[in-house]
Amino acid sequence: MNTAVQTQENPLGYKSIPELLRGFAIPSIIAMVVSSLYNIVDQIFIGQGVGYLGNAATNVAYPLTTICLAIALLIGIGSASRFSLHLGAGEKDKARLVVGNGISMMVAFGVIYAVLIEVFLHPLLMAFGATADVLPYAIDYTRITAVGMPFLIVTNGMSNLARADGSPKYSMTSMLIGAVVNTILDPVFIFIFHWGVAGAAWATVIGQVCSFVAAVRYIWKFKNIELKREDIRLVPRECLSTASLGMSNSLNQVAITFVQIVLNNSLTYYGASSPYGTDIPLAACGIVMKTNAILLAFIIGISQGSQPIIGFNYGARKYDRVRSTYKLAICVNLAISAVGFILFQFFPRQIISLFGTGDELYFTFAVRFMRIFLFMVIANGVQLISSNFFAAIGKPVKGLLLSMTRQVFFLIPLLLILPVFLGLDGIMFAGPAADSIAFVTAVILVGREMGHMRRLQEEQQ
């Protein structure tokens, strides 16, 4: 089937951009918010039922979840991007091979990751900043949640493929099922069975299994391809191609993990010589980062919702639709980020209070940390959406470079340098400083790419 015919048959090639982005982004946003709620709900119920040491434990364990999501994005975004590009070019056989190889990667990587966590659990948690008081809670929580990691990887990966296939609502529903189950079971296991952090962990795993069952059913429901048993196999060449397009999104998550590790260790180190001690900064940071994760879920949802539209139309050489989709995604992101900025700056204490009680010293630090560290959230989404934009158009190197700017090139060095001169305040101010520099970098790179696409369109005409 040639590109022109494929474009006429697929709504991604002819429907209005606002209608498409609304149809794809809203289910994607719901799915991402739901995914982030796994940890948020755990944090809230643990804070109410166990206390701030339990919250600190989930914060210490959180890097393992971000690594898990990094693996899911590596395979899911990479497979979905290639799938969309091949569909746009009318290459259904290649699209089918991409999906089968992606599913095989999800299963293999998920099992390997769970085994590694169980084997190296204690040293990993110590490296992530666990203190003597927090470590027992963190071990109880993580040893159980590791069981659910393979299910989480497959669910997220299939969610991206379903969205790229034109089924954003199915993608959303599969994620929503697990979150609802988790939210129901959390208070039952913590307050009725009195299982503490272990109860929250089991609620999370059971929810992930439910989402997994719903997600894998899509293997038999693809609209644009007919997947066969022989397609589901690992092909090294295909794995490398998929990883190259998923790398920018994946490394962004890995970078978040490194940031979390540096943050945790810096907060305990500089907190020890402050009036707040070691545990208050650690617990407060966990709440701030996971609250911000909800805002990021909206932005990632917009980004993932735009990916099939951008990828398909770039493959079909409809560059005007590619540019229009990116610009609309950025505008929607800025509006949502502005709401987040208002909430973080004017209602921080109310937000923090949702995660349990603490003394006045705890609230003083947590409020200050949220206001300063998240001061430039309004610029965050531009870098994230731009990174995914490059992956969607098949330019992984630029996407990789952009995904590394905020976390690796700017934030981690600032987290190491500024506290030497400013103590705990240096950790807080590192956030908005890195956000500002990353925003400028994204604007420059995307501006050049838009100019390149305009020239390609002129040559076509």
Chain centre distance of CA 357 = 28
- In whole angstroms, give the CA distance from residue 427 to residue 212: 38
Query: 12: how many CB neighbours lie within 10 A of its CB?
Result: 26
The residue count for the chain: 461
Contact 138, 264 (CB under 8 A): no
- In whole angstroms, give the CA distance from residue 42 to residue 332: 29
Please give the model's pTM, rounded to 2 decimal places.
0.71
Tokens of 230: 């022989």
Contact 160, 77 (CB under 8 A): yes
Which residue has 């589901």 as its token pair? 232
Contact 54, 46 (CB under 8 A): yes
Q: Which long-range contacts (CB under 8 A, 24 or more apart) does 403-407 make?
A: 403/248, 403/249, 403/251, 403/252, 403/255, 404/251, 404/252, 404/255, 405/437, 405/438, 405/441, 405/442, 406/255, 406/380, 406/434, 406/435, 406/437, 406/438, 407/252, 407/255, 407/256, 407/258, 407/259, 407/434
Query: 274: how many CB neighbours lie within 10 A of its CB?
Result: 15
Per-residue pLDDT for the chain (461 aa), expressed as one digit of tens each? Answer: 444 445 456 777 778 888 888 888 888 788 777 767 666 776 777 777 776 677 777 778 888 888 898 899 899 988 988 898 888 778 888 889 999 999 999 999 999 999 999 999 999 998 887 878 888 888 999 999 999 999 999 999 998 899 888 888 898 888 889 888 988 998 899 888 888 888 989 999 999 999 999 999 999 989 888 888 888 888 889 999 898 888 877 877 787 778 878 888 888 888 888 888 877 888 788 788 878 888 888 888 888 888 888 888 887 888 888 888 999 999 999 999 999 999 999 998 888 887 766 678 888 888 899 999 999 988 888 888 888 888 788 787 787 788 777 778 888 899 999 999 888 889 999 989 998 998 999 899 988 988 888 888 788 76
**H helix count then E strand count, the chain:** 17, 0
CA dihedral for 348, 352, 357, 358, sign (positive or negative): negative
459 exposed, middle or buried (CB, 10 Å; 0-12, 13-18, 19+)? exposed
Dihedral (C-alpha) 373, 378, 384, 388: value to the nearest 10 degrees? 170
